[in-house]
Amino acid sequence: MIVLVARTVGRNWAEFRSLQISLHPRAGLLGLATLTVFLTYLWYIEAWRRLLAGWAQTIGFGAAARAWCLANLGRYVPGKIWSVTGLVVLAQREGVRGSAAAASAVAFQALVLGTGVAVVAGATPQATSGLRLVIGLVVALASLAALVWGPTARWMGRVMNAEAPLSALPLSAVGLSGALMVAGWLTYGFAFWLFIRGLLPDAQLSIATAAGAFTLSYILGTLALFAPGGIGVREVVLVSLLTPSLGSGGALAASVGSRVLLTVTEAGAALISLALVRRSTSEGSPESP
């Protein structure tokens, strides 16, 4: 997995440097964009914890961060199942019941889709057809309904783990987790806007357009089963949506540059979570005589 991530960073960085466009990077805005992306991860990690709490499963924030960040790197492995599977396995290692871990991964993906559709509809409704937005929302709501309604929740629990029954997910957990994810999409969009301003100081782009374009590209990249990490799909969507505001060269620079930023921050978050866990483990271990 580390090799795949490193190759992705190298390939995207080479593509970024080859762009024939005059860039005027501002380190302060680029650094703030990076910090904002890390803040976004905190929203999503807490959203996942709230889903688990709905099934009476408790996991510390540090352990949840490690599991979520490491599983997130599975997106760069061909096949979309690896990040979901990784989250389930890592959650179980932290003591989370198997059926709840699997159900939380399903609910998390459904909320990512549903809240993302809501953000796109609110920020840039013209970015895609209304039918696509409705279909995405229906799929997300149907997936959540299966976990909120008692009979289907119990049936899914038996399918996932017959020895660990699954109760219905409380609506309060869905609502709180969904609110945190909306906050995450908004900070993602703000980080993308900061990044563009850091690369192209003269860019005329509203925060709403940046947030809607980023969210739609992320969702479509996630749904593209053939594209590890959404590579290629996200860039095409961003270029098509940002060209009217940034021009073709600016849109391409923003799309490729954001790919570099996200890959680096996702890998960095995983390394930081591992380093913090190792530090706490070493500090908590007894001294040798």
The kind and range of the H/E element at 237 are helix 233-284
Per domain, the residue ranges of the chain are 26-278
| pLDDT level of residue 4 (50, 70, 90 thresholds) | very low
Choice between 203 and 38, residue whose per-residue pLDDT is larger = 38
- Does 163 have pLDDT greater than 80? no
Asked if 248 and 227 count as a contact pair (C-beta separation under 8 A), the reply is: no
What is the average pLDDT across 37-41?
Answer: 96
**SS3 label, residue 161:** coil
d(CA 206, CA 126): 15
Give the alpha-carbon dihedral of 1, 73, 10, 254, to 10 degrees: 160
User: Which of the residue ranges 39-43, 96-100, 193-197, 270-274 would you say has the lowest mean pLDDT?
Assistant: 270-274
Angle at 47 between CA 272 and CA 125, to 5 degrees: 110
Q: Read off the pLDDT of residues 191-248 as tens digits, 9 standing for 90 and up.
A: 999 999 998 888 889 999 999 999 999 998 888 766 665 677 888 889 899 999 888 8
- Does 62 have pLDDT greater than 60? yes
d(CA 201, CA 203): 6
Choice between 225 and 127, residue whose per-residue pLDDT is larger = 127
- Does 281 have pLDDT greater than 90? no
Asked if 114 and 140 count as a contact pair (C-beta separation under 8 A), the reply is: yes
Asked if 5 and 76 count as a contact pair (C-beta separation under 8 A), the reply is: yes
d(CA 228, CA 214): 17
Greatest mean pLDDT among 15-29, 70-84, 85-99, 121-135 lies in: 85-99
